[in-house]
Structure 1
Amino acid sequence: MKNSVMHKPAKVTLVGAGPGDPELITLKGMSALKSADVVLYDALVHPDLLDHAPDAEHIFVGKRKGCYAFQQDQINELMVSRAYSHGHVVRLKGGDPFVFGRGSEELEFASKQGIEVEVIPGISSCIAVPSAADIPVTKRGVSKSFWVITGTTREHELCRDITHAARSSATVVILMGMSKLPEIVRIFEREGKSNLPVAIIQNGTLDNEKIGVGTVNTILEVVEKDKLSNPAIIVLGEVVSSRSQLQWVRREAALK
């Protein structure tokens, strides 16, 4: 039923929803939602964003560890079938669709079906979440670069790149790595970095955000004490110390 009923051109737009706070979506992303006929949205998408598409069909296709509303192949097929039957499908993904979001796979699948596609980048949590927590991923005189790594591979194993990152002087930002945190700690300890500052940021940019700060050799205790869990990102590097420095400056300024 390719456009025979609705007479709307089939289109798929990948939209990055940002790191969590619904106000951190781009204006262009918001505009795409307003023109959507169908919205396929993920688990980390703030529900308030769906208010920008009040007349569209909303379909949850999110994935959580051990729980899948749809398998990836099913998401691809649903995205294409709804584009042909309804018109404009917005595929709304947390963060940026091309940062560990399988956005390129979905884009390629839709393109091969002859569907018009568009990508609207989003603010990635790998930069925005530390920033919102007063942690810069780079800082002059402290860190000249940063790694962004997935903690868990498709085979549910720890990503080997973490070992290479631990040997560098760069800031290391690990997404989807909480279940592998003990292994990550051991890698950094083997590299002689037991005292390296670490931050765990859960539900970053949201009202229920929780932040735990420690060092490589204390962060597991911090996680247990503060009951930190997914969704969270891990930041390892001297830049983590900037958080306390900035907070001290703010307190001093407020007293003047």
Structure 2
Amino acid sequence: MATRIISAAVGLVLLAIAVLFYGTLAFNVIVLLITLIALHEIFGAVKLHNKFGMYGWCALFAAFVLLYDKMPPTGAIHLTAGLFVFTAGMAAFAVFHFADIPFSSIAIVYMETIAILFGFSSTLLMRSVFPQDGLFYLIAALGCGWLADTGAYFSGRLFGKHKLAPNVSPHKTVEGSLGGLLTNVLALCLIAWGYHRFLGGGPISYPHLIAVATVGALAGMLGDLVASSLKRQQGIKDYGTIMPGHGGIMDRFDSVIFTLPTVLLLSYYLPIVLR
């Protein structure tokens, strides 16, 4: 438990540092570094590592997406072209290394690369879509993953009786998930109130906030289960050891990869902060 607390404290310090650089290119670089570690963990999970330079190819695409911080329409066509080239490259790996690399492993790496980038690139889009409140939406998205997970953990320990997905994650319960959902909604309402009251944020639409927090938390739970299913299939407990007591980057960000784009897209149509 002490190790977990220390790792969590270090993680919070690193998060605070990232927040300080939120509006700068340094933030892009921090997000890229987290992404590269996450990709390395995925490659390790499927026992590919850097076979035939495939990790380098995925890392190059990640750098292109996360450092090419442009808004549509100019950025959209270039990012679409980049996705096409990346996909063609992965297809080439599947064809020319058919005898060396299982197709299923290439498919997993491809899917996870897209999912991870779709998630983490949302942190950059929040700066552009919500220029005044991007940091608030980022915190809300992280909260949908981590606050809900914390609430689910304690609720499950206190009240958990009915298994949610026993074949994938035997310790998760329906009661824990409901507790996590409620924890997330209440905590984000408190954060939003403080943002408006003390930090100069605009008026808060609490109906929108409750909707976004609810769907966001559900998305985070789905992300957690998806990551757990891959770990079970590969016969591993954690994706990595970079955070003692917690595992790897993917073990901490599996839910956030899903909550980031969910909060971004929902908040675009259901803005929480009214300006």
Q: TM-score, normalised on structure 2?
A: 0.27
More strand by share: 1
> Which of these two proteins has the greater Rg computed from alpha carbons?
1
The one of the two structures with greater contact order (alpha-carbon pairs below 8 A, sep at least 6) is 2
